[in-house]
Amino acid sequence: MGKGLITWLVAVLIILVMLPACGGAAELSGQAAYLMDPYSGRVFLEKDSETPLPVASVSKLMTLVLVLEAVDRGEAALTDLVTASPFAASKRGSRIWLEAGEQLPLGELVYAIAVGSANDAAVAVAEFLAGSEELFVDWMNERAKELGLTATKFVNSTGLPEEDTPPNMMSAKDVARLAQYALQVPRLMDYVSTYEYTMRADTTKIPVLWNGNKLLRRYYGVDGMKTGFTTEAGYCMVATAERDSLRLIAVTLGNKSEEERESAARELLDYGFRKYQSMELYSQGTAVSVLDCPNGNPRSVDVVLPNDFRITVERGKEMDLVTVIKLNADLQAPIAQGDTVGTITAIYQDEVLGTNTLTVAQDVQKLSLPALVYRLAQGLAQAVF
């Protein structure tokens, strides 16, 4: 074999060794990254995910959560008029050019925050709901603790850098967990999935807002959530997308450019959709076991799924799944349909892929004493004969 051919073969071998494994993800860009399934909580990729980093306007996701939770509780209405203070009107950066004393409906200001990332709108709603931005920030940090965001610290409602004050800090993991919760907040996805919105539609029609999340138009399945940028934070994004019942949350922080941010988010989502799938193990109402009730009527009853049981599984490994059913010990009648009587867990090797509750297909009434004695007598007679 000639030296030239040997050199060529060695070069090819080196290149093959340096390539990422088949089906894997290349080196993740940005300072931190996180990819998860929000329904099961499974994490597929992460990079420096627990390191607190400045997150710029990604902070506004918490602002949106608090506003829409207050609306859902009936403490505010989207039709409420919010009056802009001089402080709110003075906010720089992304804004809708609020003037001090100007009034706009709360719902319109929510669009300004979600679509245009407007700093003046964020401060205006913070003051409206809490009395001051400072009190609203206390509320943000309290909510962060309640949600288990351990590497999060907010100093304002906007993510804007302030003199002599550290920036809003979150880890990529915390951003993903906040997005995971935000999916459940009523109306929130309606706002963050909006790509274009015209402010003051009945008067000046200024400004027209365009969502910083360009993946809403450029990536199939993306329907939220929030982007951010400051010089210190770099280009940040949390995006969520759904395809074929599989939903993913992708977080990328500290990118050097808008293009790198979008590419990083695409890479995370591509990896998740390429490698994993959502699979329905059992549909709602499927009987998976039988519960014996010695003191109940009926004596035995089907154990069923109260809702669809879906899991996220790596493609090609569906046949290796194991399901484990555990019924609660010492169950006694009466048991109402809908009461939890146990759990069913899907396992691949040693990894738990998902758990669902189990209930009974019908009510189980408690037998009267005479009926219970009669049942015991019947059982004894059958045992004897």
Q: Which residues are catalytic?
A: 57, 60, 117
Distance CA 104, CA 121 (A): 10
Identify the helix (H) or strand (E) that includes residue 303.
Answer: strand 300-304
Distance CA 183, CA 192 (A): 10
Residue 313, both tokens: 């599984």
Nearest to 288 by CA among 306, 273, 315, 274: 306
Locus of tokens 């004969």:
385
Annotate 360-376 with b (16+ C-beta within 10 A) or e (fewer). Answer: beebbbebeeeebeebe
Distance CA 327, CA 341 (A): 6
Q: Where are the alpha helices (DSSP H) in the chain?
A: 3-18, 60-72, 86-89, 106-114, 119-130, 133-146, 172-182, 188-192, 215-218, 258-275, 369-384
Nearest to 269 by CA among 44, 29, 30: 44
Distance CA 126, CA 132 (A): 6
SS3 376: helix
DSSP 52-81: -EE-GGGGHHHHHHHHHHHHHTTSS-TT-E
Annotate 101-115 with b (16+ C-beta within 10 A) or e (fewer). Answer: ebebebbbbbbbbbb
